[in-house]
């Protein structure tokens, strides 16, 4: 099968990676960065797994389903952490939303494949 079947999930992962990178960088600029350490750590991990998932989907790897399942779990963890700060930081709110969309796309892909 061609990687075209993954396009929706690829787009969600790319958007999530961008949102996570933005959130991590914005968190580093906040006055009380110490409160955001876990958020930054998860943002970076999430961006990395999203980029990795895109690579697996683009190459139509037989391990895509497993990578996307892991991606969904990390996206959920990142979303949960970002939601803790969303009422104070718009970048965290946006990141949490992107992470939830990506987790859903990855889970749907795992079911469809």
Domain that holds residue 73: 3-112
CB atoms within 10 A of CB 38: 15
CATH number reported for the structural domain that contains residue 100 in this entry? 1.20.1270.360
User: What distance in Å separates the CA atoms of residue 102 and residue 74, rounded to the nearest whole number?
Assistant: 10
Q: For residues 80 and 43, is the Cβ–Cβ distance under 8 A?
A: no
pLDDT digits (tens, 9 = 90+) for 64-96: 999 999 999 999 999 999 999 999 999 999 999
pLDDT digits (tens, 9 = 90+) for 19-46: 999 999 999 999 999 999 999 999 999 9
Number of structural domains (the chain) is 1
Q: For residues 92 and 86, is the Cβ–Cβ distance under 8 A?
A: yes
User: What distance in Å separates the CA atoms of residue 50 and residue 45, rounded to the nearest whole number?
Assistant: 9
């Amino acid at each position: 099968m061609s990687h075209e079947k993954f396009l929706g999930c690829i787009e969600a992962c790319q958007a999530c990676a961008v949102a996570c990178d933005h959130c991590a960088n914005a968190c580093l600029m906040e006055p009380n960065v110490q409160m955001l350490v876990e958020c930054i750590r998860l943002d970076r991990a999430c961006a990395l797994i999203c980029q990795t998932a895109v690579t697996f989907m683009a190459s139509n790897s037989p391990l895509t389903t497993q990578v996307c399942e892991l991606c969904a779990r990390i996206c959920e963890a990142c979303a949960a952490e970002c939601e803790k700060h969303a009422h104070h930081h718009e970048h965290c709110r946006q990141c949490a939303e992107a992470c939830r969309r990506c987790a859903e796309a990855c889970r749907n892909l795992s079911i469809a494949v």
